[in-house]
Amino acid sequence: MTDRIVLAYSGGLDTSVAIGWIAEATGAEVIAVAVDVGQGGESLETIRQRALDCGAVEAYVADARDEFAAEYCMPALKANALYMDAYPLVSALSRPVIVKHLVAAARQFGATTVSHGCTGKGNDQVRFEVGIQTLGPDLKCIAPVRDLALTRDKAIAYAEDKNLPIVTTKKNPFSIDQNVWGRAVETGFLEDIWNGPTKDVYDYTASPEFPPVADEVVITFKEGIPVALDGNPVTPLQAIQQLNHRAGAQGIGRIDIVEDRLVGIKSREIYEAPGAMALIAAHKELENVTVEREQARFKKTVGQRWTELVYDGQWFSPLKRSLDTFIEDTQQYVSGDIRMELHGGRATVTGRRSDSSLYDFNLATYDTGDAFDQSSARGFIDIFGLAAKVASERDERVAVAK
Ligand code: ARG
């Protein structure tokens, strides 16, 4: 039987060319796999047909938007996942769900090898291949851009030569990856890190400079997950989509950072994640109200480690799974409403209420009704500062003796 290779297919120039390129280089049959994670653009049916027209023997398409939102974006929200305190893991989150479908397609069509269009310099090759190795230890990986010398110029020449049904003329200066959680833009003039981003870099967000009137939203959470917006029930996907729209209109969630890639390169990246950034800000504040102090402090460390693991392509790793269990446990009481004002590039919390709140008005108030026994504070402070005080006295004693 002829060997079969499943290819992560986007419908764009590079992966369209990759179908024939891989077939010619390896003699294998190519099965195209297209996964909708909310990147927008062409319909799955259009992409499916193009894959077949470009020589794929089969095309597997999956609408994974709800799955992606519920099983990948929501855990990131619970972790308040921001890599280097800034990047909400947009691309890093989509790779594992694509990997799941690649492995499922490989099984369905009896393929021995999985292929993707990543270069040899980025994080995504690692995320794909570590994921594939974990879910399908028997599967091999091949990346035509990295392993079969498929350069951009060769891709354009090949597409024109073979008359592939794909536009090759309009050369986008940027490398873009997008899904419902956000959008990542790199390369081109952005590689000079002194260059400011121009207007054409952005798509999910309007400029925050001249915003429309402020937009007030109430986000209802249940155990760490948004379940309603302004009282209207939403699925995780709908919550993200609707907030992308509303926060995007206010220019919220634009990020411009130099980032540490897993492969050791520092790279400049522009992100837009209006819905994700608004949701994370709201979720964090609801945690402030409902999570006990020591649990909250420790969760911050756990969340950061979780974020690094996911960035580094370790989604299916045992440590990531263990940290999930901890994070999940902390979300038990993260239920209630957060009121936010979306305006001019900022998502600002203006109110919070929760049946599982730890905020005690009578403990916090400086007015009548104060239930906090201030006389206990003195003794607490004496003992709390005792160790440092003893050490300080020792420092002085030793210094004098010298
Ligand atoms: N640097 C980001 C990451 O590693 C985004 C990479 C997305 N790819 C792109 N072509 N912009 O998660």
pLDDT tens for each residue of 349-388: 999 999 999 999 999 999 888 899 999 999 999 999 999 9
Q: Is the pLDDT of residue 315 over 80?
A: yes
Q: Which helix (H) or strand (E) holds 228?
A: strand 225-229
Q: Domain 4-171 adopts which CATH fold?
A: Rossmann fold (3.40.50)
Tokens (6 digits) for 8: 């992560």
269 is in an annotated binding site: no
Asked if 106 and 116 count as a contact pair (C-beta separation under 8 A), the reply is no
Q: Which of 186, 258, 309, 312 to mutate to test the pocket of ligand 1 (most atoms within 8 A of CB)?
A: 186
129 CA from centroid of ligand 1 (Å)? 16
Pairing of strands 4-8, 29-36: parallel
CA distance 184 to 11: 18
Q: Which of 89, 95, 124, 181 to mutate to test the pocket of ligand 1 (most atoms within 8 A of CB)?
A: 124
List all residues whose CB is within 6 A of at least one atom of ligand 1.
91-92, 123, 175-177, 184, 186, 259, 269
Asked if 353 and 336 count as a contact pair (C-beta separation under 8 A), the reply is yes
Q: Tell me which residue of 12, 43, 85, 46 sits closest to 257, measured CA to CA.
A: 85
The angle subtended at Cα 27 by Cα 22 and Cα 31, nearest 5°, is 55
Question: Which tens digit of pLDDT belongs to each residue from 97-129?
Answer: 999 999 999 999 999 999 999 999 999 999 999
Q: Which helix (H) or strand (E) holds 377?
A: helix 375-384
Q: Which residues contact 360 (CB under 8 A, 6 or more apart)?
A: 371
Residue 169 confidence class, pLDDT cut points 50, 70, 90: low
Q: Is the pLDDT of residue 392 over 80?
A: yes
Question: Which tens digit of pLDDT belongs to each residue from 18-42?
Answer: 999 999 999 999 999 999 999 999 9
CA distance 150 to 4: 19
399 CA from centroid of ligand 1 (Å)? 55
CA distance 324 to 98: 20
Q: Which atom of ligand 1 is nearest to the CA of 90?
A: 12
Q: Is the pLDDT of residue 202 over 90?
A: yes
Asked if 336 and 355 count as a contact pair (C-beta separation under 8 A), the reply is yes
179 CA from centroid of ligand 1 (Å)? 12
Q: Tell me which residue of 255, 316, 265, 304 sits closest to 123, measured CA to CA.
A: 265
Give the strands of the sheet with 140-142, arranged side by side.
58-63, 29-36, 4-8, 113-115, 140-142
Q: Which atom of ligand 1 is nearest to the CA of 262?
A: 4
Map out the domains of the chain as residue ranges.
4-171, 176-291+333-353, 371-401
Q: Which residues contact 176 (CB under 8 A, 6 or more apart)?
A: 183, 184, 185
With pLDDT > 90 as the criterion, what percentage of the chain qualifies? 94
Q: Which atom of ligand 1 is nearest to the CA of 92?
A: 12
Q: What pLDDT, on the 0 to 100 scale, is given for residue 174?
A: 87
Q: Given this chain, do its domains 4-171 and 176-291+333-353 carry the same CATH topology?
A: no
Q: Is the pLDDT of residue 171 over 70?
A: no
Q: Is the pLDDT of residue 347 over 70?
A: yes
For the annotated catalytic residues, the residue numbers are 14, 95, 124, 175
69 CA from centroid of ligand 1 (Å)? 19
Q: Which helix (H) or strand (E) holds 321?
A: helix 318-330
Q: Where are the beta strands (DSSP E) in 38-132?
A: 58-63, 113-115
User: If one looks up domain 176-291+333-353 in CATH, what number appears?
Assistant: 3.90.1260.10
Please tell me the residue having the least CA distance from ligand 1 atom 2: 91
Question: Which tens digit of pLDDT belongs to each residue from 48-104?
Answer: 999 999 999 999 999 999 999 999 999 999 999 999 999 999 999 999 999 999 999
DSSP 8-state secondary structure symbol assigned to residue 71? I
Question: Which tens digit of pLDDT belongs to each residue from 276-290?
Answer: 999 999 999 999 999
Question: Which tens digit of pLDDT belongs to each residue from 173-188?
Answer: 789 999 999 999 998 8
127 is in an annotated binding site: yes
